[in-house]
Every structure is written in structure tokens, then in C-alpha cells.
Amino acid sequence: MTILVIAEHDNKVVAPSTLNTVAAAAKIGGDIHVLVAGQGSAAVAEAAAKIAGVSKVLLADNAAYAHQLPENVAPLIAELGAGYSHILAAATSNGKNILPRVAAQLDVDQISEIVSVESADTFKRPIYAGNAIATVQSTASVKVITVRATGFDPVAAEGGSAAVEAVAAAHDAGTSSFVGEELAKSDRPELTAAKIVVSGGRGMQNGDNFKHLYALADKLGAAVGASRAAVDAGFVPNDMQVGQTGKIVAPQLYIAVGISGAIQHLAGMKDSKVIVAINKDEEAPIFQVADYGLVADLFEAVPELEKLV
Amino acid sequence: MKVLVAVKRVVDYNVKVRVKADNSGVDLANVKMSMNPFCEIAVEEAVRLKEKGVATEIVVVSIGPATAQEQLRTALALGADRAILVESAEDLTSLAVAKLLKAVVDKEQPQLVILGKQAIDSDNNQTGQMLAALTGYGQGTFASKVEVSGDSVAVTREIDGGAQTVSLKLPAIVTTDLRLNEPRYASLPNIMKAKKKPLESVTPDALGVSTASTNKTVKVEAPAARSAGIKVKSVAELVEKLKNEAKVI
């Protein structure tokens, strides 16, 4: 069995979610190859070669793959991946965008967002916003799978010494082109990788009040997240959203401030190790999943918390 | 241009589902069903394109049981012109659905196909991408903005860390994200009018599509329950617990 892992990267560095995906591949067992598709991404391939457990790195360096447009990258992965037993990618916006296109090209069903490996052909994944866990078995010759990063502890980024092999194949479908991107700037840790996450909801009342959460987060070395209500109300940008339709996080500590705890929000954070809820509504559903609940006005509790930690 | 919109009948998003005792699935008997929220956004976007004069006809398609007619009627009441139901009682995988949609696309030849980014039951997030692969069209997934100009469409996509804009040649596939628009409600007169709009029913066999799957659901379980927490009285007590009991800060 040989497993192909699609590296998540920005042409400069390997994203941490790649390490979680390699960890899932290691659980399946077999040789692990990593594909780096991009432009000017030799440094990424070198970093991928050092990941523990990786035996080969394939580098497809071509202008057509610069922004990893699925129309161009999917045929590359389908062509290379046909000889593998499994193709794995992290369930990031990029992985979710590309992999189903690969699966359809290979004429196999995909298994999305696995959280555990039961055997080489059987996997567990959450459905219905995490309210049920399905065990799915695949008879496909090539198993195409996206991996929920928070379900697997990352492998070491150092220690491996895989060979890097260049792939010449160039696919340019010509149906799509990159126009531009706008990335939110932040000095805080990345939401999905942070050990502590502080999140605000509608109870924050406005965007300006998020400064209380930023102050607390900076003291804890935490990332700041938000509920859909806070994003829809325009308090914060949408890449901060935690939930079924936003990001899935599983930090050591999740502090929910002014968040009621709707099903769609819980789907994004209920695998956190310790959950703290600060809410003035004693009946808020968030208290049903919180390890520690504090019924209090957040505008008094959060500044006090910041002082004490 | 013609716009095709795919909608799915799913358990209502407010319902907290329960897993069946025999672990064969979740209990959907007597549970409220609705149009998948992302599909509502897809219908709304198509209707707005028609109101702007970009779209000339909106065809809405659903694949599922006979009862999915209700969701198609809802889409017709919201502004779709006609509906197609591909009737199948089976629980189909995303690939099977994509193949059926491909057959409908071949027949209808739309310039734009709009789907939701994921259904809130299976949480797969696959069908739009798979349909794009099968048709060979470009894909604009997780769209927060769609602008058609001439023979291309600019799609702003929600990605990890921000937004990305891509330009796709028409025909193209777009999947909707939450912030694309706010769906309207159907008015009573429109609900009445929708009853007279055409709704055609076909079978997968008639479309010549095999819905065989390489995936099998072995069992469905309830997630591990979290042990009950405690309520603390003060911030000081909270900090003490986090430091000494949970040891997370």
C-alpha cells in the first residue's frame, strides 16, 4: 500500500494541517508520498521531505499550479494518484475544493473529514453537524479522503529524509484563472492550530468590544474566533467563524464568551479538551457542553479574567 | 442565459437528530424536513440574476424521494421557472448525485449551475466539485460574490484566511457559501402560483445513470457525550480551576 498525501502550502511553507494528514496516513499504514503542487515551491518540497514518516516527495512546479486551481491540479492528482491505494488531503478550504474533483475523475466516492482510521478501508466521520458519527467502509481501488486535522495529532515536522522527485506533468484546463486574493492579517496564532481559542458571539454587541477578547487572547497566547451570529452582524471577518460552516477547532481550552451555543457552532468546537462558557443567560445551551460555566456579564468578567491570568 | 439550481431535501437545521437504537442511521421518522440552507442561498442567487436581467430561465432540480416535490415547489415559489425531480428512494452518494446532475446538465445545457456548498445532513461538501469534474467546467466553490460578465463569471470565494477571486469561463459551476446573500421568503400569492408551474419527474434509469457506490455506511453512532461540567461563582474561582484542576493555563 502506498499513500499519496497532498501538501497544503502557500508556495513558501508547509501548512501545519499537512502534518495531521500525514499522521492519518501513518495510521492507515504503508509508504507515504507527499505531492507538492505549486509554483516556485521547491522550499516547500524540501520541508515536506523532512516530515517524519514520508518516504518520497513529488514536486510539480508549474505556473498552472501557482494558485492550486482545482481545474488544473485535480487532473494532476488523478493522473499521479491512480496508482496509489489512498489519496489524502487536509479538510481545509483548499482540500475540500480540489479532492472531490479528483474523486469524480477517478470515478470513486470520496470520504469527507475523517476523524479516525479504523482500518485501511474503514473510517469514522461526523455527520449531521457532529450529532452522529458514521463508520464508512470503502471498496474503491483508490480511496479518496479528506482528513479533519483536529482528529489526528500531528507528526514531527523534522526527522525524515525523503528524496524529492520532480514531476513534469503540466495540466492547464484553461477554464479558470486567478484574479486576486485578500487575506486577513493577524499576529495571533492560526485559529485551527491554536492551543487556546477565545471566541465571541452576538453578546459582544459590536466589533469594537472584541478588543476585550483580543486583550485576553494576547495574554493567553490564544487565537480569537467568533460565532456565525457575530460574523453575520459584521463584528468580525468571516474567516474567524467557528462552526459547521466555518472552521473546526479542537484546542486545549476554548473560551466561549457571549455565545448561546447553537448546534452549528457546537459542531465546530465541541471536541475541545476544556470548554469554558461565560454568558449572562443561565439557560444558554452552551452551558450543557461547558466544563466550567460562569453566569456573569461578559463586560465585567472578561477584563477581570484578563487581569487574573 | 439558463441557470440550473440543485436543491436538497434535508432534516430542518433546527432539529437535533437522534441516532437509531440499532445504529443503522439517524431517526428521520416524523422529523421536520426543509430545503438545505445552502440550497436556499443558491435559489436566491439565481433569482437575483434573473431580476438583474442576466438569467432568462431558472430550472430547479432535486434528486430524492417523491416528497422532495415540496422543496421544488418552494423553489418555484421563490422565483424558479420550472422544476425537475429525479426520483430515487435510495440514499445516494455525492458521486451518484453528481452523475445524475450531469445527465440533467447535458439535457438542459445551462450556462451556470448553482449548488449549495454542502448539505447539512451528510456534511460531504462534494457534489458541486464532482459535477464540475464530470462536465469539465470550471468551479467557483464557497462563493460569497458572483458576477457574470460576457462569457465569464467572477467568483469571490471564502478561503481559510480570507477571500479569493477567480474568473471562470461559462458554462461554470458555483457552490454557495453563507454570506452570498440572504434568502427571501415565499409570499402566499407566489406559493399559489408555484402550484401551476411545471414539475417534471424522471427516474435515474431513464437518465441512464448507475447509482452504484464504492462507499458503505457500516454503522452510525451517537458522539461521545461530554461529562457534565460545573458552574463557577466567580472569575477568581474560574482561573483557579483552569490553573489547578484542568491545568490548561
Q: Is A39 part of any known ligand binding site?
A: no
Chain segment A162-198, per-residue pLDDT in tens: 999 999 888 999 999 999 999 888 889 989 889 999 9
Nearest neighbour of A109 by CB, restricted to B120, B158, B213? B213
**pLDDT for the residue numbered A245:** 86
Q: Which amino acid would we find at residue B120?
A: I
- Cross-chain residue pair B129–A93, CB shorter than 8 Å: no
CB pairs under 8 A between A and B: 253
The reported pTM is 0.94
Identify from B14, B118, B139, B165 which residue to disrupt to test chain A contact, counting A C-beta atoms within 10 A and taking the largest count. Answer: B139
Burial of A40 (0-12, 13-18, 19+ CB in 10 A): exposed
Q: Is A265 part of any known ligand binding site?
A: yes
Mean pLDDT of B122-133: 98
Distance CA A151, CA A60 (A): 28
Identify from A176, A254, A280, A309 which residue to disrupt to test chain B contact, counting B C-beta atoms within 10 A and taking the largest count. Answer: A176
With a cut of 90, say whether residue A207 has pLDDT above it. Answer: yes
How many Å separate Cα A282 from the centre of its chain? 32
CB B55 within 8 A of CB B49: yes
Chain segment A99-134, per-residue pLDDT in tens: 999 999 999 999 999 999 999 999 999 999 999 999
**pLDDT for the residue numbered A181:** 95
Give the pLDDT band of residue B248 (cuts 50, 70, 90): confident
With a cut of 90, say whether residue B91 has pLDDT above it. Answer: no
Residues of B in contact with A93 (CB under 8 A): 142, 157-160
**pLDDT for the residue numbered A75:** 97
Q: Does B122 touch chain A (CB under 8 A)?
A: yes
Nearest-CA distance B6 → chain A (Å) = 17
- Cross-chain residue pair B129–A136, CB shorter than 8 Å: no
**pLDDT for the residue numbered B109:** 98
Give the position of cell 457575530. Answer: A230
**pLDDT for the residue numbered B225:** 86
Q: Does B150 touch chain A (CB under 8 A)?
A: no
Residues of B in contact with A244 (CB under 8 A): 120, 123
Give the CA distances from residue A307 to residues A224, A257, A300, B17, in Å, rounded to whole numbers and listed in that order.
18, 16, 11, 41
Distance CA A133, CA B181 (A): 31
- Cross-chain residue pair A94–B122, CB shorter than 8 Å: no
With a cut of 90, say whether residue B129 has pLDDT above it. Answer: yes
Comparing C-alpha atoms, which of A53, A113, A105 is closest to residue A88?
A113
Q: Which residue has the higher pLDDT, B162 or A105?
A: A105
Q: Is A228 part of any known ligand binding site?
A: yes
Nearest-CA distance A87 → chain B (Å) = 15
Domains of chain A: 2-166 (3.40.50.620), 196-308 (3.40.50.1220)
Give the position of cell 453512532. Answer: B221
Chain segment A37-89, per-residue pLDDT in tens: 999 999 999 999 999 999 999 999 999 999 999 999 999 999 999 999 999 99
Comparing C-alpha atoms, which of A103, A37, A42 is closest to residue A76?
A37
Residues of A in contact with B241 (CB under 8 A): 292
**pLDDT for the residue numbered A184:** 81
Chain segment B1-51, per-residue pLDDT in tens: 999 999 999 999 889 899 999 999 999 999 999 999 999 999 999 999 999
With a cut of 90, say whether residue B226 has pLDDT above it. Answer: no
Nearest neighbour of B178 by CB, restricted to A130, A139, A245? A245
Distance CA B185, CA B44 (A): 10
DSSP three-state, residue B197: coil
Distance CA A3, CA A249 (A): 26
- Cross-chain residue pair A137–B218, CB shorter than 8 Å: yes
Identify from A110, A195, A247 which residue to disrupt to test chain B contact, counting B C-beta atoms within 10 A and taking the largest count. Answer: A110
Nearest neighbour of A109 by CB, restricted to B95, B139, B242? B95
CB B117 within 8 A of CB B43: no
**pLDDT for the residue numbered A110:** 98
Q: Is A170 part of any known ligand binding site?
A: no
Give the CA distances from residue B170 to residues A174, A265, B104, B141, B149, in Å, rounded to whole numbers and listed in that order.
12, 36, 17, 15, 10
How many Å separate Cα A76 from the centre of its chain? 23
**For chain A, what is the mean pLDDT?**
96
Nearest-CA distance A181 → chain B (Å) = 4
Nearest neighbour of A292 by CB, restricted to B124, B167, B238? B238
With a cut of 90, say whether residue B179 has pLDDT above it. Answer: no
Give the position of cell 430542518. Answer: B12
- Which residues, 6+ apart, have CB-to-CB distance to A85 below 8 Å? A1, A2, A3, A30, A120, A142, A143
Mean pLDDT of B108-129: 97
**pLDDT for the residue numbered A187:** 84
Chain segment B184-210, per-residue pLDDT in tens: 999 999 999 999 999 999 999 999 999
**pLDDT for the residue numbered B228:** 81
Identify from A12, A92, A93, A252 which residue to disrupt to test chain B contact, counting B C-beta atoms within 10 A and taking the largest count. Answer: A93
